Structure 1
Amino acid sequence: MNLHSLLARRAAADQPLRIGLIGAGKFGAMFLSQAGRTPGFHVAAIADLSPERARASLQRIGWPEERAGAGDIDAALAQGTTWITDDVEALFGADAIEVVIDATGHPAAGIRHARLAFAHGKHIVMVNVEADALAGPLLAAEAERAGVVYSLAYGDQPALICEMVDWARTCGLPVIAAGKGTKYLPSYHSLTPDDVWERYGISPEDAARGGMNPQMFNSFMDGTKSAIEMASVANATGLTPAPDGLAFPPVGAEDLARVLRPAAEGGCLSHKGQVEVVSSLARDGSEIDRDLRWGVYIVFEAPSDYVKHCFSEYGLASDPEGRYAAMYKPYHLIGLELGISVAYAGLLGQPTGAPRGWNGDVVATAKRDLKAGETLDGEGGYTVWGKLMPAADSLARGCLPLGLAQGITLARPVAEGAALCWDDVVVDADDPSVACRRDMERHFSARGSQAAE
């Protein structure tokens, strides 16, 4: 609650928190739109594969042209401007930069950037939830050994859910379920980028104006992004997926506690302490009243009759017996809220959510019958979608993580709906991302436990 005052002190002392941003796409641009208005922040460098695209993003959000410096990092630091570059290693090499944000959305890049941050003693805020789902438990352990913060990104739903889980547990309230809302029908698992804007509910023209990538946004529709985000939540909180992954029950805000309770008590959960995503659409395609499409929620349990009575006294939406209650936040503002994570890491040395174990994994699953010799095209594409699975099951079955299912070739056919395994694909064992993931699998397999060190 004191972040703003702490930042104001840094500003008054002319010692702003110096930040490096990697990736100036939608999330990065939303952060930049607010960072320039936040006393105590100095975005000293932006690294993007296309500096021209980064400049276009700055122009689109109204960033003052004189602050988009054309010099080098030293000039930017001295003048309070922003250096724009395609040299990400030079960004990490700038000693004055304290916090780096990875907003690339590319798993391999996220792993590389995290390890550069550790090597240079910098905190990293991992907007790149794809990298976190692929190897976050191992990266978080490496960050701890390096004495830096590895953090999920506030404003994105996983960090907001982690905050709510932490709130409930700190209040002594057992968490029964936690998750987010989305727009979902079972048929969406086969959607491709060709279908996305009609199903998402906007025109292609509006999507283009907003800088929205159809393959990335298709991952929101085909269930992949939900699986990725819930894997991150499970790994950060200790909550676990259902054995069959996400069920996407259709439910509105007022019915969360009634539906998201154990099946033995009339709900839909396989167990207490589960991650789950709720749909804003009924299975017939009609809209749910007071849906939670853009929001996050938790369901918690009264640990005593006295607390159960308190739930009733204060008007919480509960199940018919009053034992379970829910709280929710109907919206999230992604990059507009990201400064919370930056301030937590840079000022307090704390994450806004970070993996503490390996409980959930996201497995590449065939969207259609796939043939030997085909090349997989990754998240939100035409060939695979990501299914949430308990990490122990994924490890035991040798499943292929979604984060590696791009640009690799199938060694044999895979039927529609089947989970891909390592043996189904031709993998370069020397690829750094593959090696990192394999290291994580060996680490947790050897320990015989999904808990982090």
Structure 2
Amino acid sequence: MILSSPTRRPSPIRILVTGANGGYGRTLLDQLRRLPDMTATQLVDPDVAGVSALLVDLGVTDEGIATPSSPAETAAALAEGRIAVLADGSAIDWSGVDVLVEATGRIDAGHAYASTALENGTHVVMVSKEIDSVAGVALSRTAREKGLRYLPGDGDQPANLLRLVAWVLECGFDIVALGKSSEYDLVFDPESGTVDQNGVTVDAPGLAGLLGLGDDPLATVAARASQVAALKRSAAADYCEMNVVSLYTGAGVDVESMHYPVARPAELADMFASRADGGLLDRTGVVDVFSMLRLPGEASFAGGVFVIVRTGDPVTWETLRGKGHVVSRDGRYACIFWPYHYMGVETPLTVAAAVDGTSVVSEPRQHTVLAARASADLPAGTTFRVEGHHHEIAGVAPVILQPDAGEIAPYYLLSGATLRADVVAGALVRFADLDGVPEGAAAAYRTGLALGR
């Protein structure tokens, strides 16, 4: 039947997933059940019981799960057709892996898994954007030298945006800006005059008169922002994802904190336009993020991605506007977008591209660095921890900068490190300020930096 998943290979691609327990791992494992030419054979996570319960929830029998403690035991379990659930990397059977999907989100562990995979002739699909932002350039170079692939994983915004950019460039467009929506929409209820952002509700009655851009779009956007000022709209994850996109595209930022306009999708071509044309941007070819404003019942942008392009023939673009495409009011810009990211549901696309060598992703360079700027005076002895769903670090704000000669410490290299000296509010955290930086990932960052931009 045409509408069924094709079997493309004589034997399935064998997938190792690190950081398997959680929402991402579940979406990937569930999707792999539908694909006869791919199979997750080894799953690594400290929560062995949690991963085992997840597998049972997805229909795997208890007899189909093994919890070996050595590579030999793992190999034996795989030979029996069982899924090996491992507490750490010490029991991985690398001879039974074709592709590593790295999803720990932890700099030290994830970098070690990716490096070891490449040493063992295994392709790497990187879902941990934190590791990509620090060590992606060096890991990609190592993979190429070994005839392997190192790719950002489809299903998260960086890889999705890179695929969209490849399509846009192949069509011949000139890109002005590229980016994504922030993770959580601003849902405005005109009846109550409130805005809900992922369960947090604030009063914002003034938004009722700000649903259109009006005669002064920038003033409108500023007024919207003031209405929702009580909400935290930016996240370290957003900055990290846009930093990763910059590594693969060369795009910079217009301002280090990005603009984050409160906007509706139909307005993006007006917002991310040159300031000379009434938009936000003093420079073009940049990454950015917007906070989606919508009404209850309206479709979400779903953390999707967009590219702003310059248009050409006015008649052509008026025709496209009439078909529902997003074109700026002056007709100079258009927004091309994919309003989705489906997490692990899409990652098999990257797994296949890694094995087949069909990826459209270019080799990354350290065009920007995700840095940490102190948001308050930080005394010596402060220890940094990556915490929460968005992997934030208390006491510092993420910013995207052009890299220096290596003095600035990347944001996620602060994980577990301690300040050896005071850092005043507003200052960047530098390597010289820190003790306990993860050595392997730090060395990879410097290696990538030395490759140039």
TM-score by length of structure 2 reads 0.80
Q: What is the rounded CA distance, in whole Å, between the counterparts of 1:268 and 1:168 in structure 2?
A: 22
3-state SS in 2 of match to 1:118: helix
Within-5 A mapping of 1:203-222: 222=234
Q: What is the rounded CA distance, in whole Å, between the counterparts of 1:261 and 1:31 in structure 2?
A: 37
Return closer, same or farther for 1:82/1:202 CA change in 2, 3 Å cut-off.
Answer: farther
> In the comparison of the two structures, how many residue pairs are matched?
403
Q: Which residue of structure 2 lines up, in the alignment, with residue 408 of structure 1?
A: 417
Q: Which residue of structure 2 lines up, in the alignment, with residue 424 of structure 1?
A: 433
Q: Which amino acid aligns with 1:53?
A: G
* Aligned residues: CA RMSD: 3.0
Unaligned runs of 5+ in 2: 186-195, 202-231
3-state SS in 1 of match to 2:17: strand
Q: Which amino acid aligns with 1:32?
A: L
Q: Which residue of structure 2 lines up, in the alignment, with residue 278 of structure 1?
A: 290
Select 2:199's aligned residue among 191, 195, 201.
Answer: 201
Return closer, same or farther for 1:288/1:30 CA change in 2, 3 Å cut-off.
Answer: closer
| Identical residues among aligned pairs (%) | 28
Within-5 A mapping of 1:92-241: 93-182=93-182, 200-201=198-199, 222-241=234-253
Q: Which residue of structure 1 lines up, in the alignment, with residue 81 of structure 2?
A: 80
**1:56 is the counterpart of 2:64:** no
Return closer, same or farther for 1:340/1:352 CA change in 2, 3 Å cut-off.
Answer: farther
**1:259 is the counterpart of 2:257:** no
Q: Which residue of structure 2 lines up, in the alignment, with residue 367 of structure 1?
A: 375
CA positional deviation for 1:241: 1.7
Q: What is the rounded CA distance, in whole Å, between the counterparts of 2:46 and 2:133 in structure 1?
A: 23
**Residues 135-172 of structure 1, C-alpha deviation per residue, up to 9 Å, x if partnerless?**
21121111111111101111101111111111111111
Q: Which residue of structure 2 lines up, in the alignment, with residue 250 of structure 1?
A: 262
Q: Which amino acid aligns with 2:86?
A: T
Q: Which amino acid aligns with 1:128?
A: S
Q: Which residue of structure 2 lines up, in the alignment, with residue 323 of structure 1?
A: 332
CA positional deviation for 1:3: 13
Q: What is the rounded CA distance, in whole Å, between the counterparts of 2:121 and 2:183 in structure 1?
A: 40
Within-5 A mapping of 1:351-366: 351=359, 353=361, 355-366=363-374
Structure of greater Rg? 2
Question: Is this contact kept in 1: 2:137–2:445, CA < 8 A?
Answer: no
CA positional deviation for 1:280: 2.5
**1:18 is the counterpart of 2:30:** no
Q: What is the rounded CA distance, in whole Å, between the counterparts of 2:61 and 2:346 in structure 1?
A: 21
**1:340 is the counterpart of 2:349:** yes
Return closer, same or farther for 1:221/1:89 CA change in 2, 3 Å cut-off.
Answer: farther
Return closer, same or farther for 1:366/1:355 CA change in 2, 3 Å cut-off.
Answer: farther
Bigger Cα displacement from structure 2, 309-318 vs 149-158: 309-318
3-state SS in 2 of match to 1:300: strand
Q: What is the rounded CA distance, in whole Å, between the counterparts of 1:267 and 1:289 in structure 2?
A: 25
Give the number of the structure whose residues are more often helix, by fraction. 1
Q: Which residue of structure 2 lines up, in the alignment, with residue 193 of structure 1?
A: none
Return closer, same or farther for 1:9/1:421 CA change in 2, 3 Å cut-off.
Answer: closer
3-state SS in 1 of match to 2:66: coil
Q: Which residue of structure 1 lines up, in the alignment, with residue 208 of structure 2?
A: none
Q: Which residue of structure 2 lines up, in the alignment, with residue 195 of structure 1?
A: none
**Residues 222-261 of structure 1, C-alpha deviation per residue, up to 9 Å, x if partnerless?**
5211110001111112222224341211111101101111
Return closer, same or farther for 1:173/1:413 CA change in 2, 3 Å cut-off.
Answer: same
Q: Which amino acid aligns with 2:371?
A: V
Q: What is the rounded CA distance, in whole Å, between the counterparts of 1:290 and 1:160 in structure 2?
A: 19
Return closer, same or farther for 1:9/1:403 CA change in 2, 3 Å cut-off.
Answer: same
